[in-house]
């Protein structure tokens, strides 16, 4: 198990599913191989992009094993263990604690409203249960009833050793800067700060963050590696140009408006349709109860890929998506 905090481009890998809604291990292996070949610095299994809230515990375990097998020790693998309360998170931690992972990623508890002291206690209890396991805090207020990890919370937990890093998906560059400045003030040089906002990576790296966790990295991992390398080398013009191209590629998440789809269904459906078109996975299925992208939507996704300089694989034949939840038939 790696004890070195993970920096750089850490892709929150999609969880490929077959038309029956089961984890497609072969496609997970294929996608992880794409990411390794692109030069990413790590993968994060069972994040938001990995559809963790919609998977059973057995499916979670299968996704983790498939990703670890494909990574084969070449890059670090982080595993999401988020859940509604500390005991449930501890069950997920126990399931992966003896695997060769680089750490676990934990949100604040969700569903129940929690206070700052309760959130701190959540992370302390996890660290106390498995002190040898690296814990990364995941800041994503819209997904956890608006609960937010303040800079004071983050730095207190970092000083205690309860967390080794932070993935900040708050979308606030001001919050990121506050974290970076306070880290410097407290001389917490080994504490890792990663942005989850793939549209402002160039700015975040200039502020001083250590990397990015981009859902869009499933589609164009090499683009994010180029962006990261350019920014780290001080080539700000090249970094900005790559970021602007990726910004336009992100338009795929707005496709799907002709069906009654939620924002998550559109974004995750677009990521999977794009990766399928590029030859990374066999099916574009998303987990129930998500409405699936239709063929016209997929054609629109492919058009955006081409505008961004990504040519679909001639061997990728988009398959019709079955509808295990019966949502399309019910419209």
Output the tens digit of pLDDT for each of the chain's 331 residues: 446 899 999 999 999 999 999 999 999 999 999 999 999 999 999 999 999 999 999 999 999 999 999 999 999 999 999 999 999 999 999 999 999 999 999 998 888 788 889 999 999 999 999 999 999 999 875 455 556 788 999 999 999 999 999 999 988 889 999 999 999 999 999 999 999 999 999 999 999 999 999 999 999 999 999 999 999 999 999 999 999 999 999 999 999 776 688 888 999 999 999 999 999 999 999 999 998 999 999 999 999 999 999 999 876 655 545 454 444 433 3
Let me know if 136 is a catalytic residue. no
The per-residue pLDDT for 2 is 47
Q: Which two tokens stand for residue 5?
A: 């905090």
The per-residue pLDDT for 316 is 65
Structural domains for the chain:
8-236 (3.20.20.70)
The per-residue pLDDT for 141 is 53
**Size (the chain), residues:** 331
- Asked whether the beta carbons of 79 and 101 are under 8 A apart, the reply is yes
Let me know if 138 is a catalytic residue. yes
Q: Which two tokens stand for residue 115?
A: 């206070």
- Asked whether the beta carbons of 228 and 44 are under 8 A apart, the reply is no
pTM of the model: 0.92
- Asked whether the beta carbons of 304 and 310 are under 8 A apart, the reply is no
- Quote the CA–CA distance of 156 and 67 in Å, as a whole number: 32
The per-residue pLDDT for 324 is 47
CA distances for 303 relative to 277, 308, 312, 320, angstroms: 11, 9, 10, 19
DSSP letter (8 states) at residue 119: H
Residue positions in the annotated binding site? Answer: 49, 213
DSSP letter (8 states) at residue 17: B
The per-residue pLDDT for 112 is 79
Residue positions in the annotated binding site for pyruvate? Answer: 49, 213
- Quote the CA–CA distance of 147 and 142 in Å, as a whole number: 8
Active-site annotation holder among 136, 138, 228, 272: 138
CA distances for 53 relative to 153, 154, 196, 264, angstroms: 25, 24, 18, 12
Q: What are phi and psi of 137, to 5 degrees?
A: -80, 145
- Asked whether the beta carbons of 81 and 53 are under 8 A apart, the reply is no
Active-site annotation holder among 111, 136, 167, 228: 167
Sign of CA dihedral 77, 82, 86, 87: negative
Q: What are phi and psi of 133, to 5 degrees?
A: -95, 125
Non-local CB neighbours of 72 within 8 Å, separated by 6+ positions: none
The per-residue pLDDT for 331 is 31
Q: What is the distance, to the nearest Å, from the Cα of residue 329 to the centroid of all Cα atoms in its chain? A: 31
- Asked whether the beta carbons of 266 and 255 are under 8 A apart, the reply is yes
């Amino acid at each position: 198990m790696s004890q070195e905090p993970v920096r750089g481009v850490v892709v929150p890998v999609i969880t490929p599913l077959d038309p029956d809604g089961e984890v497609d291990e072969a496609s997970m292996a294929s996608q992880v191989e794409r990411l390794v070949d692109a030069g990413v610095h790590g993968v994060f299994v069972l994040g938001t992009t990995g559809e963790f809230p919609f998977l059973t515990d057995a499916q979670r375990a299968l996704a983790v094993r498939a990703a670890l097998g494909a990574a084969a020790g070449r890059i670090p693998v982080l595993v999401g263990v988020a859940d509604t309360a500390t005991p449930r998170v501890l069950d997920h931690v126990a399931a992966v604690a003896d695997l060769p992972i680089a750490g676990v990623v934990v949100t604040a508890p969700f569903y129940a409203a929690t206070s700052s002291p309760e959130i701190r206690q959540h992370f302390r209890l996890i660290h106390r249960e498995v002190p040898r396991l690296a814990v990364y805090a995941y800041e994503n207020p819209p997904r956890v009833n608006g609960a937010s990890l303040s800079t004071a919370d983050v730095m207190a937990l970092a000083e205690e050793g309860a967390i080794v890093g932070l993935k900040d998906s708050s979308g606030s560059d001001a919050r990121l800067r506050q974290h970076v400045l306070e880290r410097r003030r407290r001389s917490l040089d080994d504490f890792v700060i990663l942005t989850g906002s793939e549209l402002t990576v160039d700015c975040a790296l200039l502020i001083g963050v250590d990397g990015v966790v981009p859902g869009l990295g499933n589609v164009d991992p090499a683009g994010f590696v180029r962006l990261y390398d350019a920014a780290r080398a001080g080539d700000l013009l090249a970094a900005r140009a790559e970021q602007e191209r990726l910004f336009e590629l992100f338009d795929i998440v707005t496709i799907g408006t002709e069906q009654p789809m939620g924002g998550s269904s559109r974004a995750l459906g677009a990521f999977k349709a794009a990766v399928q078109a590029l030859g990374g996975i066999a099916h574009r299925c998303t987990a129930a109860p998500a409405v699936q992208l239709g063929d016209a939507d997929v054609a629109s996704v492919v058009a955006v890929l081409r505008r961004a300089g990504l040519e679909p694989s001639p061997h990728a034949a988009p398959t019709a998506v079955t509808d295990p939840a019966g949502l399309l038939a019910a419209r």
